[in-house]
Structure 1
Amino acid sequence: MHGTIPAKPRRQPGSGSRLPLVLRLALRELRGGLKGFGIFLACIALGVAAIAGVSSLSRSLTDGIGREGRRILGGDMAFSLLQREANAQEKAFLASKGQVNTIASMRAMVLAGDKGSALVELKAVDANYPTVGALETDPPMTPADLLAQRDGAFGAAADPALLARLDLKVGERVKVGDATVELRASLVSEPDKIASGIGFGPRLLVSEDAVRATGLIQPGSLVRWTYRVILPPNLSTEEGLSQVEAEAGRVLPEAGWNVRTRLNADPRFARNIERFTQFLTLVGLTALLVGGVGVANAVRGFVDRKRASIATLKSLGAPGGQVVLLYLTQVMIIAGIGIAIGLLVGAALPFIVTGLFGHLLPIPIQPTIAVAELGVALLYGVLTALVFALAPLGRAHDIQVSGLFRDQIDPERRWPRKRYLAALALSVAALVGLAVLTAYDRRIALMFVAAAACSFVLLRLVATGIMAVAKRLPRPRRTAPRLALSNIHRPGALTPSLVLSLGLGITLLVTLSVIDTNLRQQLQQTLPERAPSFFFLDIPNAQADAFEDFLKGQKAEAKIERVPMMRGRLVSLRGVPASQIKAEEDISWVLEGDRGITYAKAAPEGSKVVAGEWWPEDYRGKPLVSFDQRIAEGLGLKIGDEIVVNVLGRNITATIANLRHVEWRSMGINFVMVFSPNTFAGAPHTHLATVTYPNGSDAASDARILRSAAQAYPMVTSVRVKDALDAVNDVVSQLVMAIRGASSIALIASLLVLAGALAAGHRARLYDAVVLKTLGATRARLLSAYALEYGLLGLATALFGLLAGTFAAYFIITRVMNLSFSLDLSGALLASGLSVLVAVGLGLVGTWRILSQKPAQYLRNL
């Protein structure tokens, strides 16, 4: 067969590339570098790094707790009882399940002779302690040698804080109740420190024999007995743990113990990690959203720089959609670089923290690459970049080629096409959905989303209002004010972007400042003026009257308040088990563990009956209870409902007779639940007393009273309220510092965004300056005009920031923290004033650079 071979088609340049045309063009344009996108990259990287780092660190902590649950708990399961030891039947049940070791913990007073006395958290252990992990002391000692009784004294390990507080040294002896205790070592580390909890005083570790010898264990004493069980392999599985827990509830339904397993060794601590993680994630999201404004400014400046390229592409026949897609691709590639940087920093954070501070942390941390959390941070970054880039890019679709050149001085007001608005709406919905679905508390997340949306809308309205007012004001005669006023409202003005950028930063600063001021006033000013001087706990019932006489003898003018006190655990509400009730976060603590309860003939001082009637003084009917109004409403309780509370291993059913409004901040004696006196007739209990001095007291007299009380009544625990408040203030100060540190990320983002907003207007200001300088304007006159413009915008925006930030702080203080609000704007005014100065300063620095340009090269292109 004969034939011709068709000629091989000629290869077109670039046809060998399999990349789509838009992507090839985008990559080709990016060869010129990322000029103008430095702030864009910083904003995206900062926000993504914050979210990724916080989430990764949280996962590392929770993984560490999960893997080390057995060591943290001290066994596979822990059964806790308050105010009583387990009875023979309960001990037999636990022993039938595995190896049992016993821990007793309580507050006690240490008396060190002339050196004074101190409150300690006494922890008594049996001979098998620790069954899991290792006890570390200085000098190193085995638990047997450390705690043994020798030469008439029981051994102990003391927290270094106790040694420092009383100026004690290892080897010295102290008194705890009736027992003599020798401090043989300093306590370095306990394997079960988290599970043991954190108390008001330093830890003192002794043997079980020692705590019994103190004489402090009396009927009704607030001693927590914890029985830790090491299960055999066939029961230590997840199913086995659930089986044992269910069997304990079925066989011993009225034991009233709190059961924990190694799978939830410290649920409250885990929840606190989740709550703090959500807070920090919201801070990171705030930084990302604030940075989103920087993204929008950068994209707007990018489009402005690309006018010639866009005009050329459209002149050559490129459809508007292809042009938008081309530059959206470039923007998302650059965003991808920022996201990658943020993910790398966030993923490395757990390893950095472990390497630098792992040996200092009291909690186990298992650094890991948290893929799911990093994926969420990736989505946040992509969606934020998309949301803030679509609007400025979409406008370029329908503008004519001539309009692209004219747009600088006559910007069109049209909205982007529906397809871009639909894409924007979907991106916003996805971002909101991600924030809500991944939140620990979705209510808080929804509030955050609503606040963010309101902030953006209001700031846009503020900008529009400022421009409208500036346009209608009479024109000043002087050149600088007239130029400043014109710059505020003219086409293409920086007003919208500057107001949005600066307004977000000032609002955030004012919110943090007002919250900080309120917290400090609540804890440092209001409370001490009304608080008692002392709390005295664990007063034996038989000695309550004698102890009150003793207190009166110390200072006759003292006001003494004394009430009986027990501990009880809610079992059910209206027939529904407490474990099945889903309450709000600020209410659920009432259902967790044991609560202080009391009985009274009359309504306690500091509370007011707001619904129902108080029972008669000689009431003898079935048990009644008075409930805190806010807690009752949060749990869905009303007058006439029945609750069951377990006290001393016995379930008691009581009917809600009335609701009270309680003034908790007075720090007087008050309880969520107050029962009718006949409810606990004959039950062993102790008393709680407060002492308030009308004219206050000094440290020397306080120390004398504490020493006298410890000597005369060694079983009574004394708490100096000022010391407790100082401890609380220390914790709050640390939290405030943590909040400030975390929030600084968002503030840095605000500063970057402000700089970006000013940089975005660089091109317009450059040509302004060139023309004005050509017409004879001096540098000083132009600087004064720009300073006046930035100052007026800053002051107007600061006013909005003050109002919005104060309202946000009010909402958080009153609705989230449930505290009273005090209006003190001193810190807020300082913060907003500094913000205005920063804005003016940044604006003038940029303007100075512009004014230093030579006019000739720019005049050729006009």
Structure 2
Amino acid sequence: MASLRSGAGRSDRPSFWLAARFAARELRGGLSGFVIFVACIAIGVAAIASVGATTRAITEGLSAEGATIVGGDLSFRLVQRPLDAKERGFLQTFGEVSEIASLRAMARIPDGQPNAGNSALVDVKAVDGAYPLKGTMLLDGGGTLVEALRHRGESYGIVVDPLLLARLDLAAGDMITIGKASFRIADTIAKEPDRVGTGIDFGPRVMMSRQALDATGLIQPGSLVRYSARLELPGTVSDEAVHAVEDKAKEAFPEAGWRIQTRDNATRGFDRDVGRFAQFLTLVGLTALLVGGVGVTNAVKTFLDRKRDEIATMKALGAPGGFVVAIYLMQILAITLVGVAIGLVLGAIAPFAGGGFIANTLKLPIVFGFYPLELALAALYGLLTAVAFALLTLGRAHDLPVSALFRDRVAPGRAWPRTVYLVATLAVALSLAGLAILLAYDRRVAGVFVAASAGAFLLLYVVAQGVMTLARRAPSPRSTGLRLAVRNIHRPGGLTVSVILSLGLGLALLVTLALIDGNLRRQLTEAIPERAPAFFFLDIQSTEAAAFDALVKSTVPDVTIERVPMMRGRITALKGVSTTKIEPPADARWALEGDRGITYSDTLPKASTLADGKWWPADYSGEPLVSFEDELAKALDLKIGDTVTVNVFGREVTAKIANTRHVDWDSLSINFVMVFSPNTFAGAPHSELATTTFPKGASEADETRLMKAVVADMPTVTVVRVKEVLDAVNSIMRQLALAVRAAASIALVSSVLVLAGALAAGHRQRIYDAVILKTFGASRGRILAAYGAEYLLLGLAAAVFGVIAGSLAAFGVLEGMMRIDMVFEPVVAVGAALVALVLTIGLGLLGSWRILGKKAAPVLRNL
């Protein structure tokens, strides 16, 4: 006893090192009983570590490819106009310049070839002889790009994405028509260095020379062409030197309207998108870790239940409660480190195993490597979770006397631990929450997640207590087995709280993600196509507008045509303040970072309703006015009377906000963020944008006939089929949903492990119950039926909560954040309920069957 009290005889309390020696001695017995504990921690840590390591691998790849993505040290992007002579001469004083032009067009099989008249939307990229300044262009045939694009005979050469050959059943060497020119397919593209992160492909890539583009006739006044001038500075230059050139360009041409991108900020948009997606997966991984935390609690309970004799002995010998807690906390931390280590190994290899798939899906580069910071963060999450969920259970053993420890075998106590353990648990939990919020890309979303998780745990606990109260107050059933099941649900130390906490949270997450995924798919495949037009027609010249209408009506008489003027412009100032000095909220940043489609109209556009202000009269001729989309206006703090400056064709235009509009974007009717009064752009060159909507009952053959007619008679008009665009979006969503489902599956696996742990935690009490019941004559079948009824009721309670909580969470995301009408899917609810029932009944009966095989005599002798 002296050694327990003084350790080395220098203190009245046992030393830390003595507690460590006791902990190490007990750990020699291995991890018996802690397999589920280790698995829960390992799975959660692995999920977070894999997301962090994969994200870092992609962002490192983006950083390494910055100059290649930009196409040089700097890129100067313009819309609807190329560099003028002064701008080009200015840039050439700093280094080599390469200019490209990009636009969408229709590629058509010419007459005389098989499948003549068939066409496809393509993404045309016209390059000069200096392309590419950075990176390497590779062709499948092994030749050079300059040689492939050379003019031979009567046609220019082009190189194409292999997808175009498959789509139109063509081969290298065949002819194809783009605009008013015919081209020879010289080769296919193996690698295009600056195509990183292009996102959704609306059409295969076609590359041609700048001279060939002029021959197509596609470039007309107002055509939607994007120009990019890339600048490569001589030698090895620093980022400071690059930014010095950027500053000089802004000073020399303040109203150029170009968007300047440097090699070190080439990935800002990509980083943001990757960061948001990674944050979402990390939060799902944290959910798995929190679900696993319930498993930690169950494992610690089971562990202490097995150590009652040792604890009683130490306390009988005078060991302080803190000394006992210290011994077992050290053991818990040591076992946690095993789970963390396993999770880190799995997380470290994740980028090598699945990172390439994600990177290829998003067309992003990836740098495989070992990223200790991300792994350390995952380890910290795992340690904090384990400590947070273990402390309260360990703290309960601090003040329990020896008699209470023995009495707990048959009548588990409910005493709360000392205040110090409550405070320590709260401090660790707050640290975990603070870490999740502080390191999140979007702290508001992370804060909502933390609050929702805390609310879910609290609500689950309330649900569990409510189930126990209902069971306690319910009339006693006549059936002995059912009566036993009901009493097991509300007795002290039962499974109710553990089962509902673990399974309820996992099912709620599964239902939430399933409903969001299902509703997004419904929106893309049913709701939007039902109201959307069949085609968008771009680059209709104003002089051809009447001919276009007549062609459409003569081809498909019942079609509805909607046509508006269209230009492209970039917002350069709000309320007189340059956008370079404005830090917009995250959900509005997109509006200021690129060029926007703009139009003018004397009437309120279709699918729009006024939110504030008045529309201008049809004959308005005063100062320029603009109508702004209401939600974006609020995000940018714009009100009626504020000014907006846009750069169109290199000219700054400032207009006053006359009104704001609610826009139904889901209708896919022609609409714009900004609609100007007609006098704003009087005389400015522009093209027309049109949509065609077919009546109900129209066939795909009608759509194909119209598309062929327009492409044949108006080769410079670009036809975008809405169905194909939605299919492309849906394809990307399907691939990204795999990662989301994988993360949700991890949370469900954690729930299953925790459920198994909860059943194991009550193993000893179940043995006593079964033995006593068998002693009084209960058959094995009757006992099994009673346990089955108990598990059925608990699984049903967890399923009801999971469906309700998951549906509410999905409603909040879809209706509140995405502005999508939610449709409840009964299949999801039924599926979740079946999952809950199968897991609880299956695992419960599996464990009970082993219990029923125990001999009565040894158990009764040890009571």
TM-score by length of 1: 0.96
Question: What residue number does 1:161 align with?
Answer: 163
Match of 2:180 in 1: 178
Q: Which residue of 1 aligns with 2:734?
A: 733
Measured in 1, the distance between the counterparts of 2:150 and 2:200 equals 26
- Is contact 1:73–1:195 with CA below 8 Å preserved after alignment? no
SS of corresponding position for 2:587 = coil
User: Equivalences for 1:573-588 in 2 at 5 Å?
Assistant: 573-588=574-589
**Conserved in 2, the CA contact under 8 Å of 1:292 and 1:384?**
yes
**Structure 1: which amino acid aligns with 2:302?**
G
**Is 814-823 or 168-177 further displaced after alignment?**
814-823
The one-letter code of the counterpart of 1:404 is L
Query: Who is 1:482 aligned against?
Result: 483
Give the corresponding residue for 1:86. 83
Shift of 1:634: 1.0
The 8 Å contact of residues 49 and 344 in structure 2, kept in 1 or not, is answered as yes
- 1:134 aligned residue (123, 133, 136): 136
For the Cα contact (< 8 Å) 1:119–1:717, is it kept in 2? yes
Aligned CA distance change for structure 1 residues 178 and 322 (closer, same or farther; 3 Å): same
Matched residues in 2 for 1:223 and 1:808: separation? Answer: 43
Distance 1:109 1:352 in 2: 39
- For 1:464-517, what per-residue CA distance to the aligned partner results, in whole angstroms no more than 9, with x for missing partners? 111111111121122101101110111211111111111112211211221122
Describe the shift of the 1:198–1:181 C-alpha distance in structure 2 as closer, same or farther (beyond 3 A).
farther
Q: SS state of the match for residue 837, structure 2?
A: helix
Structure 1: distance between partners of 2:40 and 2:198: 43
Please show how residues 324-339 of structure 1 align to structure 2 within 5 Å.
Answer: 324-339=325-340
What's the offset of the Cα at 1:593?
A: 0.3
Alpha-carbon distance between aligned partners in 2 of 1:30 and 1:605, rounded to the nearest angstrom: 73
Tell me how far apart the structure 2 counterparts of residues 195 and 97 of structure 1 sit (CA, whole Å).
Answer: 28
**Correspondences of 1:128-527 after superposition (within 5 Å):** 128-194=130-196, 198-233=200-235, 236-353=237-354, 362-527=363-528
Q: How far apart are the structure 2 equivalents of 1:383 and 1:794?
A: 29
In structure 2, distance between residues paired with 1:86 and 1:214: 20
Q: Which amino acid aligns with 2:217?
A: G
* CA distance in 2 between partners of 1:601 and 1:360 (Å): 43
* Mapped partners of 2:731, 2:742: distance in 1: 16
One-letter identity of the residue aligned with 2:153? D
Take 1:424 and 1:622, find their aligned partners in 2: how far apart are those partners?
64
Partner secondary structure for residue 621 of structure 1: coil
Please list every run of 5 or more consecutive structure 2 residues that lacks an aligned counterpart in the other structure: 1-6, 10-14, 111-115
**Aligned-partner Cα distance in 1 for 2:354–2:788:** 44
**Residue 298 of structure 1: how far off its partner (Å):** 0.7
- Structure-2 separation of matches of 1:357 and 1:341: 23
Aligned equivalents of 2:816, 2:359: Cα separation in 1: 36
Cα distance in 1 for residues equivalent to 2:743 and 2:586: 23
- Give the match for residue 681 of structure 1: 682
Shift of 1:19: 8.1
What are the within-5 Å matches in structure 2 for residues 526-541 of structure 1?
526-541=527-542
Query: Could you list the per-position Cα deviations for residues 603-646 of structure 1 after superposition, in whole angstroms to 9, with x for gaps in the alignment?
Result: 00100112100000000001100011111111111111111111
1:577 CA displacement: 2.2
What is the distance in 2 between the residues matched to 1:446 and 1:201?
40
Q: Secondary structure at the match of 2:671?
A: coil
Shift of 1:583: 2.9
Which runs of 5 or more residues in structure 1 are unaligned? Answer: 1-10
- In the alignment, which of 101, 106, 113 is matched to residue 109 of structure 1? 106
Distance 1:79 1:454 in 2: 49
Equivalence map 1:558-597=2 (5 Å): 558-597=559-598
Aligned AA (1:162): L
**CA RMSD for the aligned pairs?**
1.9
For the residue of structure 2 that corresponds to 1:130, the secondary structure is coil
Is the 2:481–2:785 contact (alpha carbons within 8 Å) kept by the matching residues of 1? Answer: yes
User: Which residue in 1 is equivalent to 2:754?
Assistant: 753
Contact conserved, 1:116 with 1:703, CA < 8 A, in 2?
no
Contact 1:509 1:828 in 2 (8 A): no
Q: Which residue of 1 aligns with 2:61?
A: 64
Residue 817 of structure 1: CA displacement?
2.3
The aligned residue for residue 717 of structure 1 is 718
Match of 1:52 in 2: 49
Q: Tell me how far apart the structure 1 counterparts of residues 383 and 794 of structure 2 sit (CA, whole Å).
A: 32
Q: Specify the alignment match of 1:658 in structure 2.
A: 659
- Is 1:99–1:229's contact at 8 Å kept on the other side of the alignment? yes
**Partner amino acid for 1:625?**
V
**SS of 1:144 mapped into structure 2:** helix
Give yes or no for contact 2:802–2:832 (8 Å, CA) kept in 1: no
Number of aligned positions between the proteins: 849
Q: Whole-Å Cα distance in 1 between the matches of residues 496 and 145 of structure 2?
A: 71
Q: Quick check: 358-367 or 62-71, which moved more?
A: 358-367
Aligned-residue offset at 1:411? 2.4
* CA contact 2:117–2:712 (8 Å) conserved in 1: no
1 CA distance for matches of 2:355 and 2:559? 51
Supply the distance in 1 between the matched residues of 2:359 and 2:527 (Cα, whole angstroms). 38
Cα distance in 2 for residues equivalent to 1:45 and 1:780: 38
Give the drift of 1:832: 2.3
Deviations 1:442-464 (A, max 9, x none): 00100000110001000100111
Query: Structure 1 residue 412: deviation in Å?
Result: 2.3
Q: Which residue of 1 aligns with 2:3?
A: none
Residue by residue, what CA displacement relative to the aligned partner does 1:691-742 show, whole Å, maximum 9, x if unpaired?
0011253333322221211111111000111111222221222222221122
Instruction: Give me the whole-angstrom Cα distance separating, in 1, the residues matched to 2:33 and 2:787.
Output: 22
CA distance, structure 2, for counterparts of residue 802 and residue 654 of structure 1 = 50
Displacement of 1:745 in angstroms is: 1.3
- Tell me if the contact between 2:555 and 2:709 (Cα under 8 Å) persists in the aligned partners: no
1:410 deviation in Å? 2.2
Between 440-449 and 51-60, the greater mean CA deviation after superposition: 51-60
Q: Which amino acid in 2 is paired with 1:432?
A: A
1:120 partnered with 2:122: yes
Q: Give the letter aligned to residue 551 of structure 1.
A: V
| CA apart distance, 1:190 | 0.6
Shift of 1:833: 2.2
The residue type paired with residue 77 of structure 1 is L
Kept in 2, the 8 Å contact 1:295–1:389? The answer is yes
Closer/same/farther in 2, CA of residues 196 and 435 from structure 1, 3 Å limit: closer
Whether contact under 8 Å (1:509, 1:832) holds in the other structure is no
Aligned partners of 1:315 and 1:401 also within 8 Å: yes
Report deviation, 1:345. Answer: 1.8
Counterpart Cα distance in 2 of 1:501 and 1:680: 62
Contact 1:155/1:206, CA 8 A, preserved across alignment: yes
> What corresponds to 1:795 in structure 2?
796
Residue pair 1:110, 1:175 contacting (<8 A) in 2 also: yes
Aligned residue among 33, 38, 62 for 1:36: 33
Counterpart amino acid of residue 163 in structure 1: L
Are residues 795 and 837 of structure 1, via their aligned partners in 2, closer, same or farther at CA, if it must alter by over 3 Å? same
Partner of 1:6: none
Counting only pairs closer than 5 Å after superposition, residues 770-785 of structure 1 correspond to structure 2 as 770-785=771-786
Deviation digits for residues 572-624 of structure 1 (CA, Å, limit 9, x no counterpart): 11122223333333322111200111000000010011210000000000110
* Aligned mates of 2:357, 2:804 — CA distance in 1: 42
